[in-house]
Structure 1
Amino acid sequence: MPLVVLRPDDAGRVAMLHAAGFPDPWRPSAFRDLLTESTSLGLGIEQHGGLVGFVLVQIAAGEADILTIATAPELKRTGIATQLMQGLVSRLGERGIARITLDVAEDNAPARALYDRLGFAEDGRRPNYYTTGRDIPAAAILMSRNLSV
């Protein structure tokens, strides 16, 4: 499945997919604003005319920070997130971006395994960072991957 660059008019379907996977979904206007910015890059995967995965990054000072990534719940563990991340790494490398950063909930084992497989390393943690939709707060694990040789 080819990657598509997301545009501001994709904000509604990006927000719907985000809401299907997160207890504190972002509003369509937040996605529209980000996708309008020249410092943002959103990549998506479409299947049968619908958006089934996306990743959104903010770029500054030669680095890209992954703001959010989502896969349709019924298609988790089918390789969509891997394809998104590999495509993102490739496109950012072509743009001369030296490093990608992200944070992930400590208890999100599937996402942490994905990032480990893709060469991200743990840089630190923020205790009790994730609280929405949880009985017990989870730490944010800070991770990064260098793209420059």
Structure 2
Amino acid sequence: MTQPVVVLRPDDAGRVAMLHGTGFADPWSPAAFRDLLSESTTLGLGAERSGTLAGFVLVQTILDEADILTIATAPDFKRMGIAAHLLKSLMSRLGERGISRIMLDVAEDNLPARSLYEGLGFSEDGRRPGYYTTGRDIPVAAVLMSRSLAL
């Protein structure tokens, strides 16, 4: 079943931060999310399931490009297609706004995420060696990925 996608607002910052904390060794604070969601250049989308925030994605737009800042799925909702659904909705909305390219970076060792992005048409543009260090004994590269949103 497809989950409804909602536009996140600054007052969603607490639950977004809580969900972010379930998937990242260095979670962002509610204040950081509130500030981001208050910016006109930031778009946050959330997937709701039974009144719970099951996943979210945050993107920042600059001119005709967008950069995915972070994406997370709640542990109880992983492997249910929520991240793919959010990303497809995001790309559709961005395309309608005239955004022509979307970019992201992902840890080299995050194979499920990389597979998801590749399946959605993202391709590797480069790498930043040793970029991801938090929560790791050995730093890993960031894989830079992007895809066109041009119609």
TM-score range normalised by the length of the shorter chain? over 0.9
Coordinate RMSD, CA, aligned: 0.6
Counterpart for residue 143 of structure 1: 145
**What does residue range 52-131 of structure 1 map to in structure 2 within 5 Å?**
52-131=54-133
> How much has 1:42 moved relative to structure 2?
0.1
Pair 1:35-2:40 in alignment = no
Distance of 1:74 and 1:107 partners within structure 2: 22
SS in structure 1 at match of 2:22: helix
**Identical-residue share of aligned pairs (%):** 73
Distance of 2:124 and 2:131 partners within structure 1: 16
> How much has 1:73 moved relative to structure 2?
1.2
Q: Which amino acid in 2 is paired with 1:94?
A: E
Distance of 1:84 and 1:24 partners within structure 2: 22
Distance of 1:2 and 1:10 partners within structure 2: 16
**TM-score by structure 2 length?**
0.97
Counterpart for residue 18 of structure 1: 20
Distance of 2:52 and 2:4 partners within structure 1: 13
**TM-score by structure 1 length?**
0.99
> Which deviations, in whole Å up to 9, do the C-alpha atoms of 1:41-96 show, x marking residues without a partner?
00000111110100000000210000000000121111000000000010001101
Q: Which amino acid in 2 is paired with 1:131?
A: T
Distance of 1:130 and 1:70 partners within structure 2: 17
Structure 1, unpaired ranges of 5+: none
The number of residues matched between the two structures is 149
User: Where does structure 1 differ by over 2 angstroms across 4 or more consecutive aligned residues?
Assistant: none
SS in structure 2 at match of 1:21: coil
